Amino acid sequence: MPAPLETCLSDLDCASNNSSSDLSGFLTDEEDCVRLQLPVSTSGPSAPARRGAPGISGASDVPGAQDEEQERRRRRGRGRVRSEALLHSLRRSRRVKANDRERNRMHNLNAALDALRSVLPSFPDDTKLTKIETLRFAYNYIWALAETLRLADQGLPGGAARERLLPPQCAPCLPGPPSPASDAESWGSGTAASPCAAATSPLSDPSSPAASEDFAYGPGDPLFSFPGLPKDLLHTTPCFIPYH
């Protein structure tokens, strides 16, 4: 008893899961027809012996014009079924290969995402950013770094610029994600009580979209912070990735 179609297809899936995208040769005539529980082509020397095989046809082998016509119809029918099966199998093989490519593509995408995570300031141990968090955080990080450079280029004397941008109190102020509550309190406030109050707040920067409600992360979001940069600056870092 040949394996049912579903089994054959799942076999194909298993083959693809083994990263075996080479499916050439799986569509050979008889083998495929057996696998797909379909009639084998009647062409060729072995065809007559297959006539009348169980499950294919109940026709007799008695010669005659009527029988020949029936046989021709039968052969045409078998051919159609066979071609449909081959078409189905062809589609299936293409799908399997496409799945393989898609899987590989997503693996590459994830590898790139891992590479991005690796260059972002690290969070506490065992904390892995999700995909969307990684993208948003990276955006914020780049924005903050660019903002730092921009401020540094505004003619502040070297040491002063650095001190203003990175006041000593702020250097260690973000060893990890701050609590949302404290973030919310310091969001854009720039109060004198803040250890980072001296830092420039880009919130006043008209080019900063930080205040827009369209942005994903608010002041309470831990992804607004990372070590080594002024808190005020960090907390006003925009994120252009809107919520849906």
Partner DNA sequence: TAGGCCATCTGGTCCT
Partner DNA sequence: AGGACCAGATGGCCTA
Interface with DNA includes 22 (CB under 7 A)? no
Shortest Cβ 131–DNA spacing (Å):
4
Reduce the DSSP state of residue 114 to 3 states and report it: helix
Interface with DNA includes 5 (CB under 7 A)? no
Q: Which long-range contacts (CB under 8 A, 24 or more apart) does 37-44 make?
A: 37/2, 37/3, 37/4, 37/5, 38/81, 38/82, 38/85, 39/78, 39/81, 39/82, 40/82, 41/78, 41/79, 41/82, 42/75, 42/78
Nearest to 195 by CA among 173, 219, 164, 223: 173
Interface with DNA includes 179 (CB under 7 A)? no
CB of 106 or CB of 171, closer to DNA: 106
Task: Output the furthest CA–CA distance in the chain (Å, rounded).
Answer: 107
Interface with DNA includes 88 (CB under 7 A)? no
Shortest Cβ 15–DNA spacing (Å):
10
d(CA 136, CA 23): 40
**Mask of contacts with DNA, 125-164, x by CB under 7 A?**
-----xxx--------------------------------
Binding piece for DNA, criterion CB under 7 A, among 46-54, 55-63, 96-104, 229-237? 96-104
Q: Among residue numbers 97 through 126, which ones bind DNA (CB under 7 A)?
A: 97-103, 105-107, 110
Shortest Cβ 29–DNA spacing (Å):
19
Reduce the DSSP state of residue 221 to 3 states and report it: coil
- Encoded tokens for 65: 């014009």
Interface with DNA includes 50 (CB under 7 A)? no
Contact residues toward DNA (CB under 7 A) are 13, 16-17, 94-103, 105-107, 110, 130-132
